[in-house]
Amino acid sequence: MDIGFIGLGNMGAPMVRRLIEAGHRVIVYDTRQEAIGELAARGAVAARSPAEVADAAETVMASLPTPDIVLKVATGPSGVIEGKRVRRFVDLSTTGAVMAERISKLLAARNIVQIDSPVSGGVRGAEKGTLAVMVPGPRAEVAAIEPVLSVIGRVFVLGERPGLGQTMKLVNNVLSATAMAATSEAMVTGVKAGLDPRVMLDVINAGTGRNTATEDKFGKVVLPGTFNVGFAAGLMLKDVKLFLAEREVLGVPTDVIEAVARLLQITCDELGPDADFSAVVRPLERRAGVKVRAG
C-alpha cells in the first residue's frame, strides 16, 4: 500500500521504519533533509512538499509537534489539501479537539477525510510497534486504514466524531504528567527526610502508590540522572494547556491539573522547553536542596 508520511522526528521516524518493514511503500517529507535521507536509505521515497506526498498516496499520515504546524501542513500552501491523489489525512499528532474539527471541515471541502488519530506510548512504543492508537472517524475510512495503523500499535476505535481521539489523548497525557509531577514532589520529600530513593520506589511499587512514573520513568531516567524519556517538557506543557482549554469549554473543574501545568511551566522557564519531560523533578530538587539519584 502507498502511504504518505509527514514529520520524521522522534516518533515519526520509527513509525515509518515499521511501515517500510511491513512492506508498505512510504512517501516521506520533513523540513530536515537529513531526516528524509536517513529513511530514503531504508527504502522510503523522498518528496519535496506535503502536497507532493499527497500527490503520491491516498492515505497521508502526519506526526508533527504543534497544532499550528499541523494546520499549515494539512491546509496551507503546498499542503496536503492541494494533493491530487489524497483521500484521507491521518493525523497522529496532538492538536486538541478544536483544531481537529477545524482541519476536518477545511479538508472536507476538498473531499478529503481527516482522521485524528493521536498515539501514546513514547519513542519506545513507536520503535516496538506497541503504541496506543486512538481513532475516531467514519467506519469505512477507519476500516481502510486499520491494518496500517496496526503496524504501529494497538488500535482503539472511539466513535465517528472528529476530535474524540484528541480528547482521549489529552486525558491520557495529563494523567501521565500528573503522575510525574506528584511522584517528583513525593520522592524529593522522602529523600530530604533521609530515605533511599531506590528503596522508596521498591516500596511504592509494591503498594498502592505505584504509577507510570514510579514503575518506569524514575528508575530508568531520574535515579541515574539521564533524563531521556524522549518527550520534551514544552510539548507536555502544550498538551496540558490544550486539555485545560477543552475542560474550560466543557465546564469541568481541574484544580490538580492546573497545578501540574504550573510545575511544567516552571520547568520550561528554568531548564528550557526542550528539556526532557522527566526533568520536572529538577526545579523541586533545587528548591529542596537534594537530588533524587542512585548509582
Asked if the model's pLDDT at residue 74 lies above 70, the reply is yes
pLDDT at 295: 67
Would you say the C-alpha torsion 116, 276, 178, 219 has a positive or negative sign?
positive
* Catalytic residue IDs: 169
- CA-to-CA separations, 14 to 42, 58, 187, 292, in angstroms, rounded: 11, 21, 33, 31
Identify the CA nearest to 240 among candidates 178, 179, 180. 178
pLDDT at 230: 87
Question: Which has more pLDDT, 295 or 122?
Answer: 122
Q: What ranges do the domains of the chain cover? A: 2-161, 167-288
Q: What is the Cα 13 distance to its own chain's centre? A: 13
**Residue 249 exposed, middle or buried by CB count within 10 Å (0-12, 13-18, 19+):** exposed
Q: Average per-residue pLDDT in the chain?
A: 96
Are the C-beta atoms of residues 63 and 11 closer than 8 Å to each other? yes
pTM above threshold 0.85: yes
DSSP state of 289: T
Asked if the model's pLDDT at residue 53 lies above 80, the reply is yes
Q: Which residues contact 55 (CB under 8 A, 6 or more apart)?
A: 83, 84, 85, 86
Q: Which CATH number fits domain 167-288: 1.10.3210.10, 3.60.150.10, 1.10.357.10, 1.10.1040.10?
A: 1.10.1040.10
**Rounded average pLDDT over 201-220:** 97
SS3 23: coil
Q: Convert the pLDDT of each residue in 104-139 to its tens digit.
A: 999 999 999 999 999 999 888 999 999 999 999 999
Q: Convert the pLDDT of each residue in 140-153 to its tens digit.
A: 999 999 999 999 99
Are the C-beta atoms of residues 149 and 117 closer than 8 Å to each other? yes
Query: Residue 262 carries which side chain, given as an amino acid letter?
Result: R
Identify the CA nearest to 174 among candidates 67, 93, 264. 264
C-alpha cell at 174: 495529563
C-alpha cell at 115: 482522521
pLDDT band of residue 271 (cuts 50, 70, 90) is very high
Are the C-beta atoms of residues 232 and 273 closer than 8 Å to each other? yes
**Rounded average pLDDT over 98-103:** 94
- CA-to-CA separations, 210 to 102, 109, 204, in angstroms, rounded: 39, 48, 5
CATH class given for the domain over 2-161: alpha beta
